[in-house]
Amino acid sequence: MKPKVAFFDFAGCEGDQLQVANLEEDLLTLLGQVEVVSFREVMKEHSDNYDIAFIEGSCTRLQDEDRLKQIRKNAKIVVAIGSCATIGGINSLRNYKDLESVKKTVYGENAKLFDSYAARPIDAIIPVDAYVHGCPIDRDDFLHVVKSLLLGKKTETPTYPVCVECKKNENICAFERGQFCVGPVTRAGCNSCCVNEGTVCWGCRGLVDNPNENAHKEVLIKYGLTVDDAIGKFRLYFGWQETKR
């Protein structure tokens, strides 16, 4: 019996669902293993009868909470996909700003028409069974989680940082190139894809479980970043996670 899967999105850019659509030929294989009953971006049909729910995007309004709770009730397994859903993502960048002034900046006098609160990952509202981290998610990582779910396995997300993957890929360390990287405190699983492309790790997969944040901020400062910039780097993706620690 093929499990029924459904895709949902909240406040996000839909890039993670695009990754699923971008599976190319693997998409056809995937469709042989699961039955997609709801995927608004790609299909008209919708059903509330699903086993696995993939959720993209952060919860940013009170009204999102009810929708999340309903999905949790309907689904046996809930998977958060993409940084916005797993850790708050880029959306949490605005949590550090005073929300009222943010709304005014954006909507002016009409600000009161739009409800919004601190952007948060979906596990702040409902229990989540599996995570596919990243901004956007890596297609192989997504398939790895899908395979684990199909096999009844608990998904194994690395608890070690991106440095492990950089070293295995023989990358010259970003710091040696004069750049500032948060890879040493960021969860691996992306195969160090950004450093492979010549840029730095920006932290999109979230902090590892027990990061030595102070040690890394010291490293950033030792290599030439100001204290404010070092703190700022941790706010790009870790905005929500930092408030929880």
Residue 67 found at the interface with another protein (CB under 8 A): no
**Shortest CB 71 distance to another protein, Å:** 14
Residue 106 found at the interface with another protein (CB under 8 A): yes
Residue pair 97/36 in contact (Cβ under 8 Å)? The answer is: no
Judged by beta carbon, residue 76 or residue 168, the one nearer another protein is 168
CB-side neighbour CA atoms (13 Å) of 66: 2
**Cα–Cα dist 215/22, whole Å:** 39
Judged by beta carbon, residue 232 or residue 244, the one nearer another protein is 232
**Which amino acid appears at position 80 of this protein?**
A
Judged by beta carbon, residue 43 or residue 244, the one nearer another protein is 43
Residue 245 found at the interface with another protein (CB under 8 A): no
DSSP β-ladder status, 4-9 and 77-81: unpaired
Residue pair 82/41 in contact (Cβ under 8 Å)? The answer is: no
**Cα–Cα dist 201/148, whole Å:** 27
**Cα–Cα dist 58/136, whole Å:** 14
Question: Residue 51 corresponds to which tokens in the numbers above?
Answer: 């086993």
**Cα–Cα dist 42/18, whole Å:** 9
Return phi, psi of residue 127, to 5°.
-70, 140
Judged by beta carbon, residue 13 or residue 125, the one nearer another protein is 13
Site for another protein in 164-183 (CB under 8 A): 164, 167-168, 170, 172-173, 175, 177-179, 183
Question: Residue 80 corresponds to which tokens in the numbers above?
Answer: 């958060």
Site for another protein in 4-63 (CB under 8 A): 10-19, 21-22, 24-33, 36, 39-46, 57, 60-61
Site for another protein in 76-105 (CB under 8 A): 89-91, 93-94, 97, 101-103, 105
Binding mask 108-137 for another protein (x = CB under 8 A): xxx--xx-x------------------xx-
**Shortest CB 17 distance to another protein, Å:** 7
Q: What is the maximum alpha-carbon separation in the chain?
A: 57
Binding mask 191-230 for another protein (x = CB under 8 A): --xx--xxx--x-----xxxxx--xx-xx---------x-
